[in-house]
Amino acid sequence: MTREEFPGWHGTTIIGVRKNGKVVIAGDGQVSLGQTVIKGTARKVRRLSPGGQDVVVGFAGSTADAFTLLERLETKLEATPGQLARASVDLAKDWRTDKYLQKLEAMLIVTDGKDLFVITGAGDVLEPEHDIAAIGSGGNFALAAGRAMMDTDLDAEEVARKAMAIAADICVYTNGKLTVESIG
């Protein structure tokens, strides 16, 4: 089956919320192939601890591709301890220029509790406006819902959980089985 004939993996909504000194990344657990739910409990948010630093990463896209990127990010973080921005830019640069990495289909949201970035295969390292970022199939739904709640008394985790619940109600490729990690 060629890449064009393959029905495509769908699923995953990841949200990152920074509020009142706390950063939360939450991700749903659904993986779909075409119209079929393959797995409902995938864990797409991970905590990395290279060299003793604490970094949380959420990924959308191909799981194998995302794990390759996580390994590369961990190596970059070990080479530049405490410098998430530099490690993220180095990863994005490699991702865009390396012939092997160029074929990887995933996106990342990363945080060290201070910085919050979206990293893409186009070479982008984006720091989101309004202290909230979302990626994946239901990312736009989660982003809109989360932004609407940022001026409320809800904390970062409550915003992330409620935004993900709204995305799960709207996007058929998103479920409510969350993995949530926080720093701060």
Supply the residues annotated as catalytic.
Answer: 12
Q: What is the CB-side half-sphere exposure of residue 123 using CA atoms within 13 A?
A: 5
Enter the tokens of residue 128: 């989101």
Distance of CA 18 to CAs 99, 107, 115, 120, Å? 34, 19, 9, 20
Enter the tokens of residue 41: 């409990």
The whole-angstrom separation of Cα 72 and Cα 150 is: 32
Nearest of 25, 15, 31 to residue 175 by alpha carbon? 31
Distance of CA 60 to CAs 2, 66, 143, 151, Å? 22, 7, 14, 27
Residue 53 DSSP SS3: coil
